[in-house]
Amino acid sequence: MLLHVRDDPVAVAELRRTLTDVAAEAGLSRESAFALRLAATEAVANALRHPGPAHEAVVRIRADADGVEVEVSSDGPFRLREDTGSTDRGRGLPLIIALMDEAQFKRHNGTTSVRLWKRAA
């Protein structure tokens, strides 16, 4: 499944509904489904906070009996850490890593991608 998410609360809400449905179909527990939604939403928020020319995040969702994979890609800049001096920013990546069974971050040919994996129960 492929979604193009723009900086719009309706689009983010639709992503969350889609992830809820996919997680249920894949057999994720309620807690795992919540963790997946939160981590994916954070990855999308990061992509939209640092937009590239397209001003959107591309979200690919794959599910099977083993679990759910979500890949969030954008053409915006990639920052592993935000040294803003602010205490209210820079916690998203550690949160994503803590919530997921696997999380990979990469930058290739101008595209930043975050791959999330949550195992089914």
Residue 22 belongs to a domain with what CATH number? 3.30.565.10
Q: C-alpha angle with apex 74: 17 to 9, nearest 5 degrees?
A: 35
Cα–Cα distance list, 63 to 35, 71, 81, 91 (Å): 15, 12, 30, 27
pLDDT confidence of residue 109: 84
d(CA 92, CA 48): 13
Q: Quote the domain boundaries for residue 59.
A: 2-119
CA terminus-to-terminus distance, the chain = 22
Domain count, the chain: 1
Q: Residue 96: helix, strand or coil by DSSP?
A: helix
User: What pLDDT is attached to residue 89?
Assistant: 55
Q: What is the pLDDT of residues 21-32, one digit of tens each?
A: 999 999 999 999
Measured at the alpha carbon of residue 92, what is the angle toward residues 67 and 33, in degrees to the nearest 5?
25
What does each of the 121 residues of the chain score in pLDDT, given as a tens digit?
A: 999 998 888 998 999 999 999 999 999 999 999 999 999 999 998 888 866 666 789 999 999 999 999 999 988 766 555 554 555 555 678 999 999 999 999 988 888 899 999 999 7
Say how far residue 62 (Cα) sits from the centre of its chain.
13
Its pTM stands at: 0.85
Give me the pLDDT at residue 28, please: 96
Give the count of beta carbons closer than 10 Å to the beta carbon of residue 47: 27
